[in-house]
């Protein structure tokens, strides 16, 4: 019989993986604080308290944390599944992408987050079969208790946004060429990224740009479960398309050039000054826009059928919102 995980004792706030406040958009008053933590064996605990985080005690957080049922966030790894399994690594060696628990309260009675993780695993495996030097290197899924608990990728020092805010130098023209090459490679596979922004681009120790976060990536014309980041997308239409990437690249190019050539930004888009350094007055980061709804209830596909041909997956439109259509996970 599997040993039950013990309730985490949050001796310090910093032991939490995430603490975030939600405010009323009209009054700016903080309505509640959300927090969560994952144990070393990938057992998740989640809690919310209707107070500002400055008013919450460590004891209140410990008491509010409740274990998250595995099936709501981690898809099962069935025998018929053909996904790559990564060797066990510590998080200091590699980056392990987890389900987005910040929105768990919205989906705690559903398996949306589990299906979202499975969808990205399928996409990452497809891309990994056709590697590109400016696309995040993927090593496979992480398994615990017979379930996929994360996606294992190379770890990179910082995002492009962080790099710019720190005032570090970067050749923007060369960097844009490498980023455009990565996107063109995706398009050659029939895929669009659909969420190109400075937080989805990493910078290596050698100042090489790496495109990351393929949660919104999908075949052209197909429906996607999440899409776009405010200020960085042309429209939220629920479908994957080259036009979203073209818009994102153009916006990145203009922003990048402006940050790296503060003294003189010519109208024709050509770089006329020194490569310079980017300064730190860029807008604060924003969370990805998400099309969040319950899954269709009349699914008949199996997980193995879905995984056998990733490019045939579709996201059907429901009565009012787009719905993520993935195979049943239980």
**Residue reference for tokens 């018929």:** 80
Give the integer Cα–Cα distance in Å for 209 and 276: 17
Quick one: pLDDT at residue 230?
A: 77
pLDDT surpassing 60 at residue 307: no
The string of pLDDT tens digits covering residues 67-81 is: 999 999 999 998 777
Q: Is 297 helix (H, G, I), strand (E, B) or coil?
A: coil
**Residue reference for tokens 């460590």:** 58
Average pLDDT in the 256-262 region? 80
Give the domain 70-262 fold: Transferase(Phosphotransferase); domain 1 (1.10.510)
**Residue reference for tokens 């595995």:** 70
**How many other C-beta atoms can be found within 10 angstroms of the C-beta atom of residue 216?**
27
Nearest alpha-carbon partner for 217 in 199, 242, 252, 247: 242
What are the residue ranges spanned by the domains of the chain? 12-67, 70-262
Per-range mean pLDDT, top range of 139-148, 226-235, 273-282: 139-148
The string of pLDDT tens digits covering residues 199-224 is: 999 999 999 999 999 999 999 999 98
Does 297 or 226 have the greater pLDDT score? 226
């Amino acid at each position: 019989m599997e040993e039950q995980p013990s309730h985490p004792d949050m001796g310090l706030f910093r032991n939490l993986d995430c603490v975030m406040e939600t405010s009323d958009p009209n009054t700016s008053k903080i309505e509640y604080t959300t927090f969560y933590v994952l144990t070393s064996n990938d057992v998740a605990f989640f809690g919310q308290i209707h107070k500002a985080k400055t008013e919450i005690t460590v004891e209140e957080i410990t008491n509010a944390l409740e274990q998250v049922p595995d099936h709501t966030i981690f898809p099962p790894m069935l025998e018929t599944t053909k996904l790559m399994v990564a060797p066990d690594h510590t998080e200091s060696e590699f980056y392990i992408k987890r389900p987005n628990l910040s929105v768990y309260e919205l989906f705690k009675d559903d398996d949306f987050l589990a299906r979202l993780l499975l969808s990205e695993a399928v996409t990452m495996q497809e891309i990994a079969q056709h590697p590109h030097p400016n696309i995040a290197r993927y090593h496979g899924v992480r398994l615990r208790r017979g379930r996929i608990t994360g996606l294992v990728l190379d770890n990179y020092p910082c995002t492009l946004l962080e790099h710019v805010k720190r005032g570090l130098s970067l050749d923007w023209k060369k960097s844009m060429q490498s980023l455009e090459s990565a996107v063109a490679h995706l398009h050659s596979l029939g895929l669009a990224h659909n969420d190109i922004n400075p937080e989805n681009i990493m910078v290596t120790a050698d100042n090489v740009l790496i495109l990351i976060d393929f949660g919104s990536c999908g075949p052209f014309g197909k429906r996607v479960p999440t899409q776009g980041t405010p200020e960085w997308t042309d429209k939220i239409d629920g479908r994957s398309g080259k036009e979203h990437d073209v818009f994102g690249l153009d916006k990145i190019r203009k922003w990048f050039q402006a940050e790296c050539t503060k003294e003189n930004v010519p109208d024709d888009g050509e770089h006329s000054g020194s490569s310079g350094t980017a300064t730190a007055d860029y807008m604060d980061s924003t969370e990805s826009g998400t099309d969040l709804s319950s899954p269709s209830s009349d699914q008949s596909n199996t997980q193995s059928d879905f995984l056998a041909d990733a490019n045939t997956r579709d996201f059907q439109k429901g009565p009012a919102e787009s719905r993520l259509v993935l195979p049943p996970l239980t």
